[in-house]
Amino acid sequence: MFFLFFLAIFLSALMVLAGLILAVVGLSSNKPKTRNGGFITFGVGAIALLCSIYFAVTTVVAKVKEKVVEPFGNLIDSLDEYSPQANDAGLLNDNRFYLLEDTCSNPEIKFIKEESKLVSGAIPNSFYTYFGTSGFARMPLIYPYAIHCWDSKDNGTLVNEENVVDMETAPEGEENVVFNISAINYDRSLIMMRISSPQNDTNRDLVSYILYGVKDKKSKEYKTEAELFKAATKAGYKGEKVLVSLWDYDVRF
C-alpha cells in the first residue's frame, strides 16, 4: 500500500512539473493552447499530489496509532491496574517463607525461633517470614521484638509486636520502643543498640549506645561502645560482642 502512495505522489509531482513547464513554454511562445494545457495539467497534478499526500499521511498515522500508540497505552493501563492488585496480593511484599521450612539451616532464624518459643507458644508465622515491602523493611529479633525501617536501613526503630495479630496483614498494636537505631546485636535477654541521629538532624554526628532488657523492658544509655559492652557482659550478655549494621543484619536471613 505504501508503494502505491509513493507511486501516486511521484506521478502527481511529475504532472505538476510537466504542467508548469508547458505553461511557461506557452507563455513565452505566445501559444494559448500550450499555455492552457499547461495550467490544466498543473492544476490536476497539484490536486492529485495534495490528495495523495493527504491519504498517505492519514494512513501512516492510523497504522502508527494501531501498531504503536494503542498497544503502548494498553500496556500503561495494564501496569496501572497491576500495581495496586499486585500490592494487595502481596506480590511486592518481602515474604521469606523458606525460613519456616524444616530444611532451613539459617542459624539466625533457628536461634530466633528457639528462643522465641520460650517466650510464647502462639507466635504468628509472619513474625519470622515477613520482612516488609517497598519502602519499608522489617527484621525479627527475639519475640516480640523486631526492627522496622522506613525508606532506608541506615536507621531503624525497635518495635514491640506483642499485641500484633499478624505482622503483614494486621500490624495494629505495634509499640515503638527505641528510635534511630543504626546497629544492633542481641541474645535471649539483652539487645545492644547504637543510636545515630537522623540525617536531617543538625547533630547528626552524635552517637550513643543503649542496652535494652527483653524481659524487664528497661533501657540504659551509654556514651561509648566499650561502656556498652562492659555493661552487657556484667548483665550476663552471651552473644556476639560486635554491633552489626541493619543492612548486614538483614543479609543474615
Is there a single domain that holds both residue 135 and residue 216? Answer: yes
Is there a single domain that holds both residue 28 and residue 126? Answer: no
Alpha carbons within 13 angstroms on the beta-carbon side of residue 127 total 24
8 A C-beta contact, residue 192 and residue 205: no
Is there a single domain that holds both residue 217 and residue 155? Answer: yes
Nearest to 49 by CA among 5, 110, 102: 5
Residue range 128-162, pLDDT digits in tens: 999 999 889 999 999 999 999 998 999 999 999 99
Range of the domain at 18: 2-88
What is the total count of domains within the chain? 2
| 41-46 mean pLDDT | 82
Query: Quick check: 89 pLDDT over 60?
Result: no
8 A C-beta contact, residue 130 and residue 95: yes
> Of 70, 88, 106, which one is at a domain's C-terminal end?
88
Is there a single domain that holds both residue 224 and residue 141? Answer: yes
Q: C-alpha 62: how far from its chain's center?
A: 35
Is there a single domain that holds both residue 210 and residue 105? Answer: yes
The strand pair at 219-222 and 190-196 is best described as unpaired
Rg over alpha carbons for the chain, rounded to the nearest Å, is 38
Q: Is the pTM of this model over 0.85?
A: no
> Interhelix angle for 2-29 vs 32-64, to 10°?
160
| 197-209 mean pLDDT | 68
> Of 88, 111, 136, which one is at a domain's C-terminal end?
88
The strand pair at 244-245 and 219-222 is best described as unpaired
Number of Cβ within 10 Å of residue 205's Cβ equals 8
Is there a single domain that holds both residue 183 and residue 203? Answer: yes
**Residues found in the chain:** 253
Residue range 105-130, pLDDT digits in tens: 999 999 999 999 988 878 999 999 99
> Of 88, 117, 133, which one is at a domain's C-terminal end?
88
